Structure 1
Amino acid sequence: MISGIGLDITELDRIAELDNKSDKFRNRILTTEEQQYYQKLSGHRRVEFLAGRFAAKEAYAKALGTGIGPTCSFLDIAILPNEKGAPFLYFKGKAVDGFVSITHTKKVAAAQVILQKM
C-alpha cells in the first residue's frame, strides 16, 4: 500500500553555481558515502549527481510528509546505488520501504519517491 508520494525538480545551473562557490552546499546535502561517489565523478556529471540527490531528498521529505527540517534533514537521507546500480533510499541508516527514481536533462534534475506501508 502506498503511504506517500513526493516529487521534486531542480535546475542544474542553480546547483552548479552553489557547488562552484564552495563545498558548503555539497556538505549540507551529501552524506559521507554519497560524497565518495561524487568525488569519483568529473565535470558536468558531478552537477547531475548533486542535483539529483538534492531533488530526491526533497522528494523523500515530501513523501514522508515532514519536509526538510528538524525531523528529516538532508544528511538523514542517503541515496546509494543497489547491487544493480539503481538508486536506493536509506533514512537514518535504515533501508526505506519504497522507490526512488532520478532523471536529468541538460537543464534540470528531477526525482520521484514512492513510499510503501506494509
Structure 2
Amino acid sequence: MIQGIGLDVVELERIAHLDQRSNKFRERILSVTELQIYGTLSGHRKTEYLAGRFAAKEAFSKARGTGIGKECGFLDIEILSESNGRPVLYFKKDLVNGFVSITHTRTVAAAQVILVES
C-alpha cells in the first residue's frame, strides 16, 4: 500500500547559479558519497546531477509528510544508483521502502518519490 507520494521540480539555471557562487550549496545538499560522484562529472552534467538530487530529496520529504527540517534534512537523505542506473533512496543510512524517479530537460529537473508501507 502506498504510504506517501512526493513530487518536486527545480529550474537548472537556479541550481547552477547557487552552485557557482560557492561549494556551500552542494555541500548542504549532497552526502559525502554523492559529492564524490558529483566530482567525477563534468560541465552541465554536474548541474543536472545536483538539481536531480535536490528535487528527489525535496520529493522524499514531501512523501514523508515532514518537508525538509529537523526531522528530515538534506544530508539525512541519500540517492545512489544501482549498477543498472536505477536510483535508490536511503534515509539516515537505511534503505527506503519505495521508489524514486529523476528526470531532466534542458531547463528543469524533476523527481517523484513513492513510499510503500513495509
TM over 0.5, shorter chain: yes
- Runs of 4+ in structure 1 off by over 3 angstroms are none
The alpha carbon displacement at 1:77 in A equals 0.0
Structure 1 segment 26-37 matched on structure 2, within 5 A: 26-37=26-37
**2: CA distance between counterparts of 1:16 and 1:42?**
13
Q: CA deviation at 1:84?
A: 1.6
Return the offset for 1:82. 1.4
Root-mean-square deviation over aligned CA pairs: 0.5
Q: CA deviation at 1:117?
A: 0.1
- Map of 2:20 onto structure 1: 20
**Where do residues 37-56 of structure 1 align in structure 2 (5 Å cutoff)?**
37-56=37-56
1:85 corresponding residue in structure 2: 85
Which sections of structure 2, spanning at least 5 residues, go unmatched? none
**How many residue pairs end up in the alignment?**
118
In structure 2, how many angstroms separate the alpha carbons of the residues matched to 1:83 and 1:71?
A: 30
Give structure 1 stretches of 5+ with no counterpart: none
Secondary structure (helix, strand or coil) at the match of 1:15 reads helix
Structure 1-normalised TM-score?
0.99
User: Residue 85 of structure 1: CA displacement?
Assistant: 1.6
The DSSP-based 3-state class of the residue aligned with 1:100 is strand
Cα distance in 1 for partners of 2:63, 2:83 equals 24
**1:71 match:** 71
